[in-house]
Amino acid sequence: MSETCCGHNHDHKGCTCEHEHDHHETEIKQKKHVNIPIMLLGFAVAAIFLIAIFSYQVATTEQAVVITLGKIDANVRQPGLHFRWPYPIQKVMKYDTRLRCYDGNIGKLEETPTSDGKNITVSIYSVFRIKDLIKFQSAGGSIATAENQLGILMRSAKGAIIGKFSFDQLVNSDPKKIRIAAMEKEMLDMVAPSAADQYGLEVISVNIRTIGVPDEPAKAIAERMISERKTEAEKYKSQGEVQAKEIMTKADNDRMNILTQAEAEAKKIRAEGDSEAAKHYAVFSQNPELAIFLRKLESMKRLMGNRTTLILDTNYAPFDILKYGTSLNGEAAKK
């Protein structure tokens, strides 16, 4: 049995048109499902692109100046994330604010006369950083240009300050006479204000790196320094000899004083001993035989140590006292 569906005859049950319609709706849903992630990705890319255009990052070692339509913004941008209008409305200039060391390339090898007429070559260097970004940007905003101008200031300061001091205050064997620190301070006082006012630079220090002397003056200076050192050496040698003599004289005097004191003390002790001996002699004179016996006994103690065996003739002193011991023991036995 055939059925009619959508103007067509079909032998099977159901309608193919309905199947085709369902299949079409399924395809539309699948297309919509696939397009959503792509759209999200597109939005993300667009957002990143917009953030990159309308923002900028300032590093921790930097500061930035914003120029809006050719006019410098008075607010200096500190490290961090900031927003801006895209170029050409706004232009961002970033500068490293860390310390820099500049040797100077203008007049670096020029001879500079000292106050006493000695020609020397002095090289100096300065340590500086960008302090006032607005003034620096107004002066050109170029590190190379700023360093060239700083070099001119350093050259002027070197010629003016070095010429005020003598050569001995630059090179000397006596550290107390050297005035290099004073020279560096005066050069800094001369360079720093101009660098700050004109270019917005903060000059931390101006220091002398090397001091050179031409060949001919160098020989004369070397000979003079050798002569000075010899004179100084002779001076110290003479002082040492004088001190050595003083020490020897003092030592001899001390030795004589000690010997004198020792002799006096010995005489005193000898006198005291003689006095004590005289007292004992007075006692011994009352009983000479007892005194002689005690002296012999003392001699025996000194001559004989512990566990000593001697075979001697008792007829000779001091061993004759052994006879007295025998006779005394016999008499005691008789009694």
Amino acid 42: pLDDT: 79
Spatial contact of 200 and 135, defined as CB atoms under 8 Å apart: yes
Spatial contact of 124 and 206, defined as CB atoms under 8 Å apart: yes
State the Cα–Cα distance between residues 180 and 110, nearest whole angstrom: 19
Amino acid letter, residue 312: L
Amino acid 29: pLDDT: 55
State the Cα–Cα distance between residues 53 and 308, nearest whole angstrom: 120
307: left (phi over 0), alpha (psi -120 to 50) or beta: left
**Residues 321, 326, 329, 334, CA torsion sign:** negative
Interior angle at CA 201, CA 88 and CA 58, nearest 5: 45
Who contacts 29 (Cβ-Cβ below 8 Å, separation ≥6)?
Answer: none
Spatial contact of 321 and 296, defined as CB atoms under 8 Å apart: yes
C-alpha 270, offset from chain centre: 67
Interior angle at CA 288, CA 272 and CA 304, nearest 5: 80
Q: At what angle do helices 215-286 and 288-303 cross, to 10 degrees?
A: 140
Per residue, the 3-state secondary structure of 246-309, as one string, reads HHHHHHHHHHHHHHHHHHHHHHHHHHHHHHHHHHHHHHHHHCHHHHHHHHHHHHHHHHCCCCCC
List per-residue pLDDT tens for the chain, 335 residues long. Answer: 444 444 444 444 444 445 555 555 555 555 555 578 787 887 788 777 777 788 888 999 999 999 888 898 888 899 988 888 888 888 989 999 999 999 887 666 788 889 988 888 889 999 999 999 999 999 888 899 999 999 999 999 999 999 999 988 988 878 889 999 999 999 999 999 999 999 999 999 999 998 887 765 556 666 767 777 788 788 888 888 889 989 999 999 998 999 999 988 988 888 888 787 777 767 667 777 777 777 777 777 777 666 666 666 677 666 676 665 545 444 444 44
List C-alpha distances in Å: 135 to 76, 88, 93, 163: 11, 22, 13, 32
Amino acid 207: pLDDT: 94
